[in-house]
A and B are shown apart, each in its own frame.
Chain A
């Protein structure tokens, strides 16, 4: 299934690997920030209602 990448295999695979890492970090950062924002707002709304 894996295509024959020849002498450039390391370059091609490292480009895909580096992109996966950078994109992964970005997605985790955005999702985590979203969870923190939701929790902060929920906490303020609870304390306002309480």
Chain B
């Protein structure tokens, strides 16, 4: 059985209806465990005090903001190369979720920055590339909304997605290769030395798992809606033509 079979909307709707309840349930459970564990049962950091509790929101949302764009990039490339409508609609469905994730990362970052850095905002490379990514998300949604022909909209938004990927990559790696700026290094890294302490790391992993699963659930549900809208539109056009 090939993965491409699920580019068939009927098969996608059938499979997604089975997967969705699991994604919702596991996502809510992981997020609940991560946040309750992190908020109530972890100590304050010796430098950051209780503001360390913000990482359970800021790190997963920032991670998902960037990865949502990469998911949209893959789906857009599949659309451009293989012309599977489900992939274009999945990219469209991921955009509002990506906007929300980017906004959460920006807002929680600003709220954390005020007491820690003494300012809500600085034109730091990481923060600035994240703001540009947020604007790309808004532009992406505006482009979908502004073009009547769905295939043309999918083509143009896919190209915008490729261009915006530069800023997604910058947002992802700016903390590693840009030494200037206020933003500290990555909280999670393959190098264990760079990770946050274990006591914060474990609930953070649950929180990240919750964000990933809820992202997956929201994108699946959004893609189903887009397929249903497309089908309703096709039936309406067919009815008008008869």
Residues of B with C-beta under 8 A to A33: 222, 225
Residues of A with C-beta under 8 A to B147: none
Least distance between A14 CB and chain B CB atoms (Å): 5
Query: What is the predominant secondary structure among interface residues of chain B facing chain A?
Result: helix
Question: Is A26 touching B115 in the complex (CB atoms < 8 A)?
Answer: no
Question: Is B54 touching A11 in the complex (CB atoms < 8 A)?
Answer: yes
Residues of A with C-beta under 8 A to B225: 30, 33-34, 36-38
The one of B96, B107, B239 that contacts A44, using a Cβ cutoff of 8 Å: B239
Query: 0/1 per residue, A20-36, Cβ < 8 Å to B?
Result: 00110111011101101
Can you name the residue of chain B whose Cβ is closest to the Cβ of A31?
A: B221
B22 in the interface (beta carbon within 8 A): no
Residue picked from B40, B108, B238, B239, most chain A C-beta under 10 Å: B108
Tally of contact residues, B, Cβ under 8 A: 36
Question: Is A1 touching B40 in the complex (CB atoms < 8 A)?
Answer: yes
The one of A18, A43, A48 that contacts B111, using a Cβ cutoff of 8 Å: A18
**What CA separation (Å) do A16 and B34 show in the bound complex?**
13
Least distance between A46 CB and chain B CB atoms (Å): 10
A44-B235, A48-B235 given; A22·B50 CB < 8 A: no
Residue picked from A7, A9, A15, A26, most chain B C-beta under 10 Å: A15
Residues of A with C-beta under 8 A to B61: 19
The one of A3, A11, A31 that contacts B114, using a Cβ cutoff of 8 Å: A11
Residues of A with C-beta under 8 A to B228: 37-38, 40-41
Query: 0/1 per residue, B37-78, Cβ < 8 Å to A?
Result: 001100010000111011001100100000000000000000
Which residues of chain B in 57-110 are interfacial with respect to chain A, using CB atoms and an 8 Å cutoff?
57-58, 61, 96-97, 100, 103-104, 107-108
By a beta-carbon cutoff of 8 Å, the part of chain B in contact with chain A is 39-40, 44, 49-51, 53-54, 57-58, 61, 96-97, 100, 103-104, 107-108, 111-112, 114-115, 218, 221-222, 224-226, 228-229, 231-232, 235-236, 238-239
List 25 A-B residue pairs with CB atoms under 8 Å apart, sorted by A's residue number: A3-B40, A5-B50, A5-B53, A7-B115, A8-B49, A8-B115, A11-B111, A14-B111, A15-B111, A16-B57, A18-B108, A18-B111, A19-B57, A22-B100, A22-B104, A30-B221, A30-B222, A31-B221, A34-B221, A38-B225, A38-B228, A41-B228, A43-B232, A44-B232, A44-B235
Nearest 8 interchain pairs by C-beta: A37-B225, A37-B228, A44-B235, A26-B100, A40-B232, A5-B50, A41-B232, A41-B228
